[in-house]
Structure 1
Amino acid sequence: MIKEWIVGVGVAVFVFLAVLGLNVLPIFFLVGVSIALWYVMDRRSAAPVATREAPVRHQVSFDQIGGQEHAKRELMEALDFLKYRDKIKALGIRPLKGILLTGPPGTGKTLMAKAAATYTDSVFLSASGSEFVEMYVGVGAQRVRDLFRRARAQAKKENKDSAIIFIDEIDVLGARRGQHSHQEYDQTLNQLLTEMDGMSTTQSPLVLVMAATNRPDMLDSALLRPGRFDRQIKVDLPDKEGRLHILKIQTKGKPLAADVDLEHIAKETYGFSGAQLESLVNEAAIIALRNDKQEISQEMFRDAVDKVLMGEKTGRKPTDEELHRVAIHEIGHAIVSELMRPGTVSHITIAPRGNALGFVRQIPESDRYLYTREQLQQQINVALAGCLAEELHFGNRSTGAQNDFMQASSLARTMVKCGLSRIGIVDEENLPDTVLDTEVRYILSEQEKATRELLQPFKDAIAEFAKSVVEEESISGDAFREWLERTQRQPNPELPAVVNDASALPFA
């Protein structure tokens, strides 16, 4: 109505000026340019809201999300106020306004938010924190206001009494105020805080804000106080049982060969997120298609694990000398790993993947969350074994051990900072760098001696077995263990028996 009124008045003014004999062409040109600019800016601010933040038709249920049983229970409990309002009201419970999902990438935070909308039969609107932030004053705040307005309007349109607004990557929008050089960031966050303060927990439709981040430490404290994001739910990496549950969900309906052992795959994929497990199953199916097979075998899953961890095989072609050195290096890792933790070597390969020319994949004995001094020493021994095997055979080392050294140094620093070194308990903040570096060098030196003594008796056997590794390109863990057992049965007093405790090693 207002636009029509302005247009009518403008036309009348132009006609009046023309009747007086004035040249209206320059004025007409300036007005036309102004209208065009206004139209472009209006579309710029309004278009993203209309497209990216459109309602999502959610078809995800909690039953389709594996490996997050604790997080699902906690979230469903928090959502019950939307489903059972009368019971909540009778107990005098204040409904939640916001739920924050935290955890590493790929653990299913977005899926949890969609399942929450299905569970509560709510309208679901999704947006990313980065979509609100632009270098134009007021644009972000306007989008926040419009998002809340549209959530209520959409719920009324679909005859629903609740709506869920999901903001992904909220750390972009909700970072601590005053850290940005542009005030637009702070204005957008202020508008979000204002909207959440103004949300009534009794009106209908009821709006619940859900957000996700993997950096909760970056968020402004005003967002995390009660009355805004009342509940924080940790969506962590799945444990072994969780990984098995996810694999069963992802492989449902796929043609699996009789030799596929999902429990073994779950054990091999320690540290994998739900997204990585989904990618693993998909990559295994792609390998089956590439090989023109009708079923997905265990070997295809093994190759898929390597691809997810290390990347696709590269086109690099190392020389024969380099391949032999890589084989010696990887066998060194495998021997020490198997001597200290029997049954942990999954397979050895010298096929280049990603940035690695070869690698040994190990199966963890179990999901661990705490490590003893001896266990950290064992990991250092395994990390140093590659370069020491090279040194025993070639008399020198190569640059291929760079990542091994970084890993060993990091483990040694962890030992010092956790009070597991010879200097005992330390205050990390007040620990002089010279003391830390000296102790790290001491730990690495002692474990290097221990690892060298472990590998010395295998010097000739490693050189012989490396030829088979170069020919085969990849050796399974079972084949490696058979070779190791045959080697240990040979009469050689220097060969060590299997060691389960690093404290039994020299210098451990």
Structure 2
Amino acid sequence: MIKELLIGVGIAFALFLGYIHVIQLMPLLFLVGMGVALWVLLQRRSTAPAATKEAPVKHNITFAEIGGQEHAKRELQEALDFLRHREKIKSLGIRPLKGILLTGPPGTGKTLMAKAAATYTDSVFMSASGSEFVEMYVGVGAQRIRDMFRRARTTAKKESKDSAIIFIDEIDVLGARRGQHSHQEYDQTLNQLLTEMDGMSTTQSPLVLVVAATNRPDMLDTALLRPGRFDRQIKVDLPDKEGRLHILQIQVKGKPLAKDVNLEHIARETFGFSGAQLESLVNEAAIIALRQEKTEVTQEMFRDAVDKVLMGEKTGRKPTPEELQRVAVHELGHAIISEVMRPKTVSHITIAPRGNALGFVRQIPEDDRYLHTPEQLEEQINVALAGCLAEELHYGNRSTGAQNDFVQASGLARTMVKCGLSRIGIVDEEHLPESVLDTEVRHILSKQETNTQETLKPFKKDIADFAQHIVDEESIGGAEFRQWLQGVLNQHQIASAKALPLGELGTEVGL
């Protein structure tokens, strides 16, 4: 502040002297302008990232506050114990770790784990983003790297701590393979980081541990990933059902929940949600309660919040009554095939437009699955095709609403071929002719289309009435849908018993 004040006073005094003709004004203004430009350039080159210019942030986040990542937390804590028990590992001749790389999808808690690491080790914590180090001026990024490490060591000494943690988010921007960029600045910045992590200038006290996060580890330079730099790579993946339940239990603390809220059910139907999405889910449910002027968050509010996180907010589109009826028939087709093939998997059906969808059926997976058999993939194809086939069964034609369903069904069929689960057996994906792939995909889709049509036929007369009920209600729950479906199945069994032997009842109703 004083520096800027003195500069301002100096410029004003020079202008005054020029005004009274004591000195030549134009040459002076030129020199002042050149001096100011040079000063700004030097300041910009020596400026560290914003996060490193500030005092190191103190966090009170602990590993107990991070849910759904028990394996990753254990692995990270084991690596951090090298910082906590320095004398013990020194007696065994163990080299301290220089870096830990956290990889995984966005929103899984990588940044939270880095903050918890600083709390766990009682270390100085400094953070920056990979993009903060890259500038158009050559040498700026490298200078910022040096300043960040120097500031981390200096701060640790001032606070009488023997370790500091530097967290670099989105390190793939900074650490991409050298030679891929036309600008020399990228390579110089990465070279400086490599030197700081394991080079001639590294120090043992205070020890600087680099924790970095990325969802693109395949882009990183091999020199960055070698032992001595990032010694550990920890996968922070999407949480399983138990992990999602743990996250929900943490997030609902302090929120008034109604007695009907079943967190286990919510955890089951949020397969594929990240920790950030689950946090957003709980927050959206509370917002719905506020909007409805309720004092408690109910299970139905959580259901609507799941829809909002998955599909987005309700849109202002208003389909015609004929379109609503067709959408209801379409979604009912999906629901019938899903429930027939995998009982108790339909959570609810809605025709309220959200995002780009005019309606959808939300299904609850039986379990978190990471491997699929041919039969399970075929069932998913059947469910995807059922919407347009229900329209064809009722109206005699199809609509453009099934475009995304066809993309999904085609993708599943291609997966079957490439994984060796089709009739052509094991294939080499790299050398598989596109014509052979397309022919086999069409065969799979045609076969499953026929199977789905046969399964839907017994419901032809009943679909229209229940579709109208969905139009009237806009959304119905899975329990109500199953009650209707069971009644329809019972009617078909009674009707078929007059003409068919008992053993053929299952075939008649498409089961």
Q: TM-score, normalised by structure 1?
A: 0.92
**Does the alignment pair 1:493 with 2:496?**
yes
For 1:191, the equivalent position in structure 2 comes to 192
SS of equivalent residue, structure 1 residue 493: helix
- Asked if 2 retains the 8 angstrom alpha-carbon contact of 1:330 and 1:386, the reply is yes
SS of equivalent residue, structure 2 residue 78: helix
Counterpart-to-counterpart distance in 2, 1:273 and 1:127: 23
SS of equivalent residue, structure 1 residue 72: helix
Change (3 A) 1:298 1:336: same
For 2:109, the equivalent position in structure 1 comes to 108
Task: Indicate the larger mover: 213-222 or 41-50.
Answer: 41-50
- Alpha-carbon shift at residue 439 of structure 1 (Å): 0.4
For 2:385, the equivalent position in structure 1 comes to 384
Q: Deviations over 1:205-245 (max 9, x none)?
A: 11000100000001010100011001000000000000000
For 1:292, the equivalent position in structure 2 comes to 293
Counterpart-to-counterpart distance in 2, 1:228 and 1:261: 45
**Does the alignment pair 1:36 with 2:36?**
yes
Superposition RMSD in Å: 2.4
- Asked if 1 retains the 8 angstrom alpha-carbon contact of 2:348 and 2:362, the reply is yes
- Alpha-carbon shift at residue 199 of structure 1 (Å): 7.2
Q: Which amino acid aligns with 2:33?
A: V
**Does the alignment pair 1:319 with 2:320?**
yes
- Asked if 1 retains the 8 angstrom alpha-carbon contact of 2:103 and 2:214, the reply is yes
- Alpha-carbon shift at residue 47 of structure 1 (Å): 4.8
Q: Deviations over 1:156-180 (max 9, x none)?
A: 2222111000000000000111111
Counterpart-to-counterpart distance in 1, 2:268 and 2:322: 35
For 1:138, the equivalent position in structure 2 comes to 139
SS of equivalent residue, structure 1 residue 165: strand
Aligned positions of 1:364-403 closer than 5 A: 364-403=365-404
Q: Which amino acid aligns with 2:35?
A: I
- Alpha-carbon shift at residue 203 of structure 1 (Å): 2.5
- Asked if 2 retains the 8 angstrom alpha-carbon contact of 1:130 and 1:173, the reply is yes
Counterpart-to-counterpart distance in 2, 1:255 and 1:302: 16
Change (3 A) 1:456 1:408: same
Change (3 A) 1:507 1:268: closer
**Does the alignment pair 1:275 with 2:276?**
yes
- Asked if 1 retains the 8 angstrom alpha-carbon contact of 2:163 and 2:205, the reply is yes
Structure 2: gaps (5+ residues): 8-13, 15-21, 498-506
- Asked if 1 retains the 8 angstrom alpha-carbon contact of 2:496 and 2:508, the reply is no
Q: Which amino acid aligns with 1:129?
A: G
Aligned positions of 1:321-360 closer than 5 A: 321-360=322-361
For 2:183, the equivalent position in structure 1 comes to 182
Counterpart-to-counterpart distance in 2, 1:33 and 1:201: 41
Change (3 A) 1:237 1:217: same
For 1:262, the equivalent position in structure 2 comes to 263
- Alpha-carbon shift at residue 70 of structure 1 (Å): 0.3
- Alpha-carbon shift at residue 455 of structure 1 (Å): 0.6
Counterpart-to-counterpart distance in 2, 1:142 and 1:227: 22
Aligned positions of 1:76-475 closer than 5 A: 76-198=77-199, 203-475=204-476
SS of equivalent residue, structure 1 residue 172: coil
Q: Which amino acid aligns with 1:444?
A: L
Identity of aligned residues (%): 77
Counterpart-to-counterpart distance in 1, 2:407 and 2:349: 21
Count of aligned positions: 485
- Alpha-carbon shift at residue 27 of structure 1 (Å): 4.2
Change (3 A) 1:343 1:506: closer
Change (3 A) 1:201 1:68: farther
Q: Deviations over 1:23-63 (max 9, x none)?
A: 86554333211211123223434555245663222111000
Q: Which amino acid aligns with 1:35?
A: G
Q: Which amino acid aligns with 1:82?
A: L
For 2:502, the equivalent position in structure 1 comes to none
Q: Which amino acid aligns with 1:28?
A: L
- Alpha-carbon shift at residue 457 of structure 1 (Å): 1.0
Structure 1: gaps (5+ residues): 8-13, 15-21, 495-503
Q: Which amino acid aligns with 1:427?
A: D
- Alpha-carbon shift at residue 127 of structure 1 (Å): 0.3
- Alpha-carbon shift at residue 493 of structure 1 (Å): 3.0
SS of equivalent residue, structure 1 residue 229: coil
- Asked if 2 retains the 8 angstrom alpha-carbon contact of 1:132 and 1:139, the reply is yes
Change (3 A) 1:470 1:45: farther
- Asked if 1 retains the 8 angstrom alpha-carbon contact of 2:454 and 2:510, the reply is no
- Asked if 2 retains the 8 angstrom alpha-carbon contact of 1:200 and 1:206, the reply is no
Counterpart-to-counterpart distance in 2, 1:430 and 1:448: 28
Task: Indicate the larger mover: 263-272 or 157-166.
Answer: 157-166
For 1:10, the equivalent position in structure 2 comes to none
SS of equivalent residue, structure 2 residue 210: strand
Change (3 A) 1:139 1:200: closer
Change (3 A) 1:405 1:120: same
Change (3 A) 1:454 1:193: same
Counterpart-to-counterpart distance in 2, 1:199 and 1:446: 66
- Alpha-carbon shift at residue 204 of structure 1 (Å): 1.6
Counterpart-to-counterpart distance in 2, 1:26 and 1:287: 66
- Alpha-carbon shift at residue 148 of structure 1 (Å): 0.5
Change (3 A) 1:492 1:221: farther
